[in-house]
Amino acid sequence: MASRRFKVVGMVSGFAIVACASYVVLFRTAGPQMYEAYTTVTDVRLLTKGAAEVPERNAARHVANLIQIGKSRAVLERAKETLGTLNVANAEKTLSTLEIKPVENSDIISIRVTSADETTAKAVADVLAQHLRSRVQELEGLSKPVMQVVDPSKTAPANTMKVQSTLFLYGFPVLLVSIGIAIGYSMGRRTARKPRAIQEEMNGERPMVNG
């Protein structure tokens, strides 16, 4: 009876885990195909003359300030206006996905946006880089731009990254729970066998073993 009970618990738990995993994979990754556009920019002064030529006299601080300029209302509003002039669809929604941050171990800044339309994603990334460039020139009162595109914008399907991150976040905990249930089921079966063996000996179904 106990063995059957543990078997039922194991089957129900296994079904629940499979159902949970299926829900995660199907519903967390469902939806229209999304595209991520990526471009990188830097201040050429950091590449040619180092931090001595930038206002902050510190490369890391200068990059941090450039990122803030890239996120600023002035840059976003100008980008929105330009994209509207170009009749880029869903530009405002795509602008809201902006992720701008430093590239690790460098003085380069990455600009990323995501859209359901590949052309829109690329256009928004390009326009943001353009307005970051002009805004820095304007704020520093320079005669020519100092921001340079390092890597021209590229696009790639974003759903693949979503699937990978989802499986990483949810797959490992599900695996741990599965292992725990398997161990519990195995221990339960061992525990159930002992009373059954004793009962069989008491009923005379198997000989008692002395010593």
**pLDDT tens digit string along 21-49?**
555 555 455 557 889 999 999 999 998 88
Q: What is the pLDDT of residues 125-155, one digit of tens each?
A: 999 999 999 999 999 999 999 999 998 888 8
Torsion angle of alpha carbons 25, 29, 30, 33, nearest 10°?
A: -140
Q: How far is residue 196's CA from residue 194's CA, in Å, rounded to a whole number? A: 5
pLDDT at position 106: 92
Nearest-CA neighbor of 34 among 153, 141, 150, 114? 114
Percent of the chain with pLDDT over 70: 60
Phi and psi, residue 148, nearest 5°: -130, 140
Q: Any idea what DSSP says for residue 103?
A: P
Q: What are the residues whose beta carbons fall under 8 Å from the beta carbon of 148, sequence distance 6 or more?
A: 41, 42, 43, 44, 47, 133
Average pLDDT, the chain: 79
| Biggest alpha carbon–alpha carbon distance for the chain | 103
Decide if 148 contacts 136 (C-beta within 8 A).
no
Cα-based distances in Å from 48 to 42, 53, 148, 182, 193: 11, 9, 12, 61, 77
Continuous segment of H or E residues that includes residue 172:
helix 159-202
Could you read off the pLDDT of 150-209 as tens digits, one per residue?
988 888 887 544 544 544 555 556 556 666 666 665 665 555 555 555 555 555 655 555
pLDDT of residue 157: 85
pTM of this structure: 0.64
pLDDT > 60? residue 107: yes
pLDDT, residue 163, reads: 45
Give the angle 134-138-140 at the CA atoms, nearest 5°: 120
Residue with tokens 């929604």: 93
C-alpha to C-alpha distances, 67 to 40, 61, 129, 199, nearest whole angstrom: 12, 10, 11, 75
Q: What phi, psi does 87 have (nearest 5°)?
A: 60, 40
